[in-house]
Amino acid sequence: MDNRKSIPFSPPDITEAEIEAVAEVLRSGWITSGPKLVKFEEEIQKYLSVNKAVALNSATAAMELVLKILDIKAGDEIISTPYTYTATSSVAVHRGIIPTLVDVEKDSFFMDLNKLEAAITPKTKVIMPVDLGGFPCDYDAIKEILKAKKREDIVILCDSAHSFGAKYKGERVGGQCDFHSFSFHAVKNLTTAEGGALTFNNNNFYGIEDLFKEFKTTSLHGQTKDALSKTKLGAWEYDIVTDGFKCNMTDMSAAIGLVQLTRYEDMLRKRADIFNTYSNILKDYEWAILPPSKNDEGTESSYHLYTLRIKGFDETKRNLLIYRLAELGIGTNVHYKPLPMLTLYKNLGLDIKDYPNAYAQYENEITLPVYSTLKLEDADYIAKEVVKIVNEIK
């Protein structure tokens, strides 16, 4: 008899309310960008206390739009981190730029700020830090470096894909940097199936007359009139003012997002409870390096990823742990394989040997399941099985 549990890594939390919201849009006869999208953007702005939010088909698209509209191009330099998903840096590659990657600080998932300071050159135009796992990086420290170097012209575009709902010094993440990009992909805390958003406060950034309008136009082929506007009697005519992308969000996705927002605080609390369940068990073991969750300054994770590290483990032992847990029906993951270990970035000349701290984080990291429908008794079971297997492997 098979006594294995079936605990997937990260299924979406979808209720009948989301299903009915999508059905309502389908019945309406208007399924692409329309009134639901407008409402979703307004609700994001309220929730994050930001001036502007642009909902799109991905967080990647949000970053692409910033680099395009600000005309960041070959010859400019973009600084980021090797410890992230490819999206953070592939957007630079699309602009003809090989990103300058700054190693993470020792025993940290975040960019070494001393090395960041040294990496800034006269050609540096953008810094792209990453809120790894949902815990905000130190935005103020980055700003202080730019101020000290008299380089406040450098744009801070934060990959906040994981940190929707997180807090930085008591305030929701979204308006601390020049721009924040969020992901609403299927595995994220808040999902729209596929989707993302860009948030910012300064609608005249870089002297642009109406940055929000620029983002909306550029996300729709550079077209001056959206599809809903064109349906008005006699209002067919439009212009194309830039070689834009096609990355707008649909009303179906926005409808899911609107329902998710009404449930989101409860979903965050459930994720925090799972974090605490894991940590309360694992903290008693000297080999367990727990992920950051909150600090005394009011900074708090969105509890997106439980990035556990096992002291003394290498890749082989970590992978054996993943396999042994899978045999029990427990899905886990690794976040992330550093970019210089991937073929694209190797071919661009990057070498993981230049990023020893990133490799050290990766080789013994395992991500445990965290999602708002995971039962606490299952989280308890997972943590105890991790302890049992690690002690056997060690």
Predicted pLDDT of residue 212: 98
C-alpha distances out from residue 342 to 218, 317, 351, Å: 31, 21, 9
* Average pLDDT of span 10-32: 97
pLDDT tens digits for range 327-375 = 999 999 999 999 999 999 999 999 999 999 999 999 999 999 999 999 9
Place 151 in a pLDDT band, splitting at 50, 70 and 90: very high
Residues 308 and 288 sit within 8 Å (Cβ to Cβ): yes
Task: Give helix 87-94 / helix 59-69 axis angle, nearest 10°.
Answer: 30
**What is the spatial distance between Cα 384 and Cα 380, in angstroms, rounded to a whole number?**
6
Q: Partners of 171 in the beta sheet?
A: 168
Q: Longest Cα pair distance anywhere in the chain, in angstroms? A: 73
Amino acid type, 300: E
Residue pLDDT, tens place only, 302-337:
999 999 999 999 999 999 999 999 999 999 999 999
Question: Count of CB atoms within 10 A of residue 238's CB?
Answer: 16
pLDDT, tens digit, 9 for 90 and up, residues 60-110: 999 999 999 999 999 999 999 999 999 999 999 999 999 999 999 999 999
Supply 105's token pair.
Answer: 């600080």
Structural domains of the chain in order of their starting residue, each with its CATH number: 16-258 (3.40.640.10), 264-393 (3.90.1150.10)
Residue 174 backbone dihedrals phi, psi, to 5 degrees: 155, -25
Instruction: With cut-offs at 50, 70 and 90, classify the pLDDT of residue 276.
Output: very high
List the single range of 3-7, 261-265, 387-391 with lowest mean pLDDT: 3-7
pLDDT of residue 233: 61
Tokens of 35: 């009134």
Q: In the prediction, which pLDDT does 230 show?
A: 59
Q: What is the mean pLDDT of residues 155-164?
A: 98
Query: With the C-alpha atoms ordered 130, 135, 141, 147, is the resulting torsion angle positive or negative?
Result: positive
β-bridge pairing 179-183 and 196-200: antiparallel
Query: Contact 70/155 with Cβ under 8 angstroms?
Result: yes
Quickly state the pLDDT bin for 236 (edges 50, 70, 90). Answer: confident
**At residue 215, does pLDDT exceed 90?**
yes
| 31 contact partners, CB below 8 Å, separation of at least 6 | 25, 250, 251, 252
Is a pLDDT exceeding 60 seen at residue 1? no
What residues act catalytically? 188
Per-residue pLDDT of 110-131, as tens digits, reads 999 999 999 999 999 999 999 9
Count of Cβ atoms closer than 10 Å to residue 363 Cβ: 19
Q: How far apart are CA 76 and CA 208, in angstroms?
A: 20
The gap from C-alpha 248 to its chain's centroid, in whole angstroms, comes to 18
Picking from 240, 107, 86, 110, the residue whose alpha carbon sits closest to that of residue 163 is 110
Q: How many CB atoms lie within 10 A of CB 52?
A: 20
Whole-model pTM? 0.97
How do residues 177-188 score in pLDDT, each as one tens digit? 999 999 999 999
Smallest CA-to-CA distance from 108 within 283, 291, 259, 288 is with 291
